Structure 1
Amino acid sequence: MIYRRSLGLLAVLALSACSPAIPDSAPDPGRGVGFNDYDSYAAQKARDAQLAGGPAVPAAPVVSSERLPQAGSATPAAAGNVASASAEGDVAAETMAALGASDQRAAAANSGVVPLEASPSNPAPQTVENAAGISRENDFNAVGAERSIEGDKARIEANRAQYQVVEPTAIPARSGGSEPNIVAYALAANHPVGTQVHRRININAGNRYAKNCAKYPSPDKAQEDFLAQGGPQRDRMGLDPDGDGYACAWNPAPFRKAVGG
Structure 2
Amino acid sequence: MRKKIVAANWKMNLTLAQGEKLVNELLQSGIQLDAHKEVVIAAPFPYLIIVKELLKGHPGFYVAAQNVAAEKAGAFTGEVNAEMLHSIHTDFVIIGHSERRELFGDSNAIVAKKIDLSLSHGLKPIFCCGEPLEVRKAGTQNAFVAKQLEEGLFHLTVAQLKNVVIAYEPIWAIGTGLTASSAQAQDMHAFIRSQVASKYGAAAANNLSILYGGSVKAANAAELFACEDVDGGLVGGASLVAAEFAGIVKSI
TM-score, with structure 2 as normaliser = 0.16
Give the structure with higher Rg (CA). Answer: 1
With a CA cutoff of 8 Å and minimum separation of 6, indicate the structure with the bigger relative contact order: 2
Structure having the higher strand fraction is 2
TM-score, with structure 1 as normaliser = 0.16
